[in-house]
Amino acid sequence: MTTTPTATTTPDMDALKARLKATWMAGDYGTFAKYMEPGALEILAGWKIPPGTKVLDVGCGAGQITIPAARAGVHATGVDIATNSLEQARARADAEGLNVQFDEGDAEDLSYPDASFDTVVSLVGAMFAPRPERVAAELVRVCRPGGRMLMVNWTPNGFVGKMFKAIAKHVPPPPGVPPAVLWGDEATVRERLHDGVCDLKLTRRVYPKFDYPFAVPQVVEFFRQNYGPTQRAFAALDEGAQEALRGDLEGVFSAHNRAGDGTTSLESEYLEVVAIRC
């Protein structure tokens, strides 16, 4: 028998967006991202964005791509939903004397005119917005014809995908929202980035540097304290359930740890998306 979907399968978008904003403002993303920034610098270098290019960084966090791009002479703008991350990014830019624009905004409804940017990038940011078809349309819209859209998206079967699967076992995600890691699935990305895209190259890679100078249990605790999704998941559970989640996460982290010296070097697969705007 076929059942008809009910209104309960469609999330209350205002409530969901408020929840997502609270999630990404939990913890301390600037501190969390310090260990990801060396890898971000390698990825940025590989993109070869020329000085003078107008770049939009969607889901910019505390500026892990935006700020080094500005150092290299790029005209950079960052946009994010998390007010506190933007405050950290502005403080970093000011401390270095960099002219960077950081805006609070939504990847599904960007406040910029059509064809405003030469290059639009997103380092594991835009993938977390709940309506991916709107994100795809906005990335294309604000990119000029002939410009590039560059994304780094965690894959479903890589470390981060497995981490979110472990979290979902204990704290189910909101109904009606596709998993963020589908942005790391080639077939899904081809469906989403179809209209307005003349060329699309998808490459699976391993995040260049995702290293911590301490052991797996301490890394899990670091995530719990500083990474919003992990912090919110633990906060939703009682003490016993927290320990069960911690054990599952330590298992995932250990399975993807390349280090054998008591430190942690996470092997984290991502999908690199390189799209050309028609």
Q: Give every CB contact of residue 95 below 8 A, 6+ residues apart in sequence.
A: none
Say yes or no to pLDDT of 5 above 50: no
Tokens of 236: 């939703």
Task: Give me the helices (H) in the chain, please.
Answer: 13-25, 29-33, 37-47, 66-71, 83-96, 132-142, 159-170, 186-192, 216-226, 228-235, 239-255
* Nearest-10 crossing angle of helices 239-255, 159-170: 160
For the segment 251-275, the average pLDDT, to the nearest whole number, is: 98
Q: Using one digit for the tens of pLDDT, what is the confidence trace for 144-180?
A: 999 999 999 999 999 999 999 999 999 999 999 999 9
Count CB atoms within 10 A of the CB of residue 249. Answer: 25
Q: Give every CB contact of residue 55 below 8 A, 6+ residues apart in sequence.
A: 49, 66, 69, 74, 75, 76, 77, 117, 118, 119, 120, 121
Q: Are the CB atoms for 38 and 209 separated by under 8 Å?
A: yes
Say yes or no to pLDDT of 11 above 90: no
**pLDDT score recorded for residue 2:** 36
For the segment 52-66, the average pLDDT, to the nearest whole number, is: 98
Confidence of residue 8 (pLDDT cuts 50, 70, 90): very low
CA trace torsion 13, 15, 19, 25 (10° rounding): 90
Q: Using one digit for the tens of pLDDT, what is the confidence trace for 182-237?
A: 999 999 999 999 999 999 999 999 999 999 999 999 999 999 999 999 999 999 99
Q: What domains can be seen in the chain, in order of their start residue? A: 13-156+172-210+267-277 (3.40.50.150)
pTM: 0.94
Q: Are the CB atoms for 155 and 270 separated by under 8 Å?
A: yes
Spatial distance between the Cα atoms of 263 and 266, rounded to a whole number of angstroms: 10
Say yes or no to pLDDT of 3 above 70: no
Q: Are the CB atoms for 43 and 151 separated by under 8 Å?
A: no
**148: part of which helix (H) or strand (E)?**
strand 143-154
Q: Are the CB atoms for 92 and 113 separated by under 8 Å?
A: no
For the segment 4-33, the average pLDDT, to the nearest whole number, is: 83
Residue 162 amino acid letter: K
Proportion of the chain above pLDDT 90, given as a percent: 95
Angle at CA of residue 55, ends 49 and 61, nearest 5°: 110
Length of the chain: 278
Tokens of 68: 């080094």
For the chain, the average pLDDT equals: 95
For the segment 80-103, the average pLDDT, to the nearest whole number, is: 98
Say yes or no to pLDDT of 9 above 70: no
Proportion of the chain above pLDDT 70, given as a percent: 96
Say yes or no to pLDDT of 247 above 90: yes
Confidence of residue 78 (pLDDT cuts 50, 70, 90): very high
